[in-house]
Amino acid sequence: MPTHSSVWWPSHPVFLELGRRRYDLTTRALVIGILNRTTDSFYDRGSYFELDRFYERAEQLVREGADALDVGGVKAGPGPEVTEQEELDRVVPVIATLVERFDVPISVDTWRASVAAACFEAGAVVGNDISGFADPGYLSAASAAGASVVATHIRLSPRVPDPAPHYDDVVAEVERFLLACAERAQKSGVPAEHVILDAGLDLGKTAAQSLLLLQSSARLASLGYPLLLSSSNKTFLGVLLGLEIGERREASLASAALGIAGGCRLVRVHDVAGTCRVRDLLAAIGESAPRDLAGLDEAGPLRAARTVLGTGGLR
């Protein structure tokens, strides 16, 4: 199987609207800070559930350069049930406060239309839905609020174990799913410049499948919508490199470099400061290099990312 290792140059400018802001993502990615208000997050294990710690973490992420904050009240994986009211109580008040305190767009990480609508009313401008818009009211709520949406591929449903996912062609199936989600969003009144795609690494994928999707970022970035990468500290990095959760910082930064070079224009991360440095270097390269260097590979930043990840290509 061939590798997907060339640096991606868009054939036309890439724009995204988040609330009143319009971003040119042609050469520069946005870094989104992960801000969980959960008791069982796979990474922070509930470290920021208490309000003081939550707002301290928000201040840190903004200080480090986060272009946006993504607030979640329920983790994606299996765990104790979180009711609709519990999720509302966890995220709506803090989103209202974040909107008052910080001049950055706020995203809500939820697959419930009712929670998304309440958060849009509180000031959130993005609905990050890992279910692929399974809730039939989600897109209408986003359209009514003028919010942007993230369409994410998932094989089953959030919170449902999927230990042995099978695909005949994982990249093609993810591509079809995401295009169908984008079409549904636009038919529901969400403008094209408000639609973001996410391949859903680790969501119903093996480590090898997630890696292949990361390597195939250029193909997904060419679908006509900004592509979001959410690989920070993910399980597939740990499996590939034999790393525990607390040991994946360098691998996460390498995956961000590989993703941005491949066309990802939003990167959702825990380490904002480190990712901003990676992003800024790649943006400088993208803004200054002639387009005939589109084949740049082993001599450029991609080689460093591939070396850290150990991705010589799946065969």
63 occurs within a structural domain: yes
Q: Which amino acid is at 140?
A: S
User: Residue 90 is encoded by which pair of tokens?
Assistant: 């966890």
Chain center to CA of 263: 13
Question: Quick one: average pLDDT of 145-149?
Answer: 98
- Give percent of the chain with pLDDT exceeding 70: 90
Are 54 and 37 in contact by the 8 Å Cβ rule? The answer is yes
Question: 286: pLDDT confidence band, cut at 50, 70 and 90?
Answer: confident
Q: Which of 112, 205, 268, 279 is catalytic?
A: 268
Known catalytic membership, residue 268? yes
Q: Of 52-66, 201-215, 234-248, 277-291, which range is least confident?
A: 277-291
Domain that holds residue 89: 15-309
Phi, psi (5° rounding) for residue 199?
A: -70, -15
Q: What is the pLDDT of residues 229-255, one digit of tens each?
A: 999 999 999 999 999 999 999 999 999
Known catalytic membership, residue 75? no
147 occurs within a structural domain: yes
Burial degree of 229 (CB within 10 A; 0-12, 13-18, 19+): buried
1 occurs within a structural domain: no
Instruction: Give Cβ neighbours of residue 264 (< 8 Å, ≥ 6 apart).
Output: 29, 217, 221, 227, 228, 229
Residue from 212, 230, 207 nearest 33 by CA? 230
Pick 2 or 187 by higher pLDDT. Answer: 187
108 occurs within a structural domain: yes
Mean pLDDT of the chain: 90
- Residue 285's pLDDT is 85
Residue from 224, 129, 133 nearest 175 by CA? 224
4 occurs within a structural domain: no
Question: Quick one: average pLDDT of 82-111?
Answer: 98
Q: Quick check: pTM over 0.85?
A: yes
73 occurs within a structural domain: yes
Residue from 263, 150, 142, 130 nearest 197 by CA? 150
Q: Which of 234, 265, 279, 306 is catalytic?
A: 234
273 occurs within a structural domain: yes
Burial degree of 24 (CB within 10 A; 0-12, 13-18, 19+): exposed
95 pLDDT above the threshold of 50: yes
283 pLDDT above the threshold of 70: yes
- Residue 312's pLDDT is 37
Bridging pattern class, strands 21-24 and 15-18: antiparallel
Phi, psi (5° rounding) for residue 204?
A: 75, 35
Count of structural domains, the chain = 1
DSSP string, the chain: -----SPP--SS--EEEETTEEEE-SS-PEEEEEEE--SS-TTTTTTT-SHHHHHHHHHHHHHTT-SEEEEESS-SSS-S---HHHHHHHHHHHHHHHHHH-SS-EEEE-S-HHHHHHHHHHT--EEEETTSS-STTHHHHHHHHT-EEEEE--SS-TT---SS---SSHHHHHHHHHHHHHHHHHHTT--GGGEEEE--TTSS--HHHHHHHHHTHHHHHTTSS-EEE--TT-HHHHHHHT--GGG-HHHHHHHHHHHHHTTEEEEEES-HHHHHHHHHHHHHHHHHS-GGGTT--TTSHHHHHHHHHT-S---
Question: 5: pLDDT confidence band, cut at 50, 70 and 90?
Answer: very low
Tallying the residues shown for the chain, one arrives at 315
300 pLDDT above the threshold of 90: no
Q: The domain spanning residue 257 has which CATH number? A: 3.20.20.20
- Give percent of the chain with pLDDT exceeding 90: 81
Are 36 and 48 in contact by the 8 Å Cβ rule? The answer is yes
237 occurs within a structural domain: yes
142 pLDDT above the threshold of 50: yes
Q: Of 61-70, 71-80, 210-219, 290-299, which range is least confident?
A: 290-299
Q: What is the pLDDT of residues 24-34, one digit of tens each?
A: 999 999 999 99
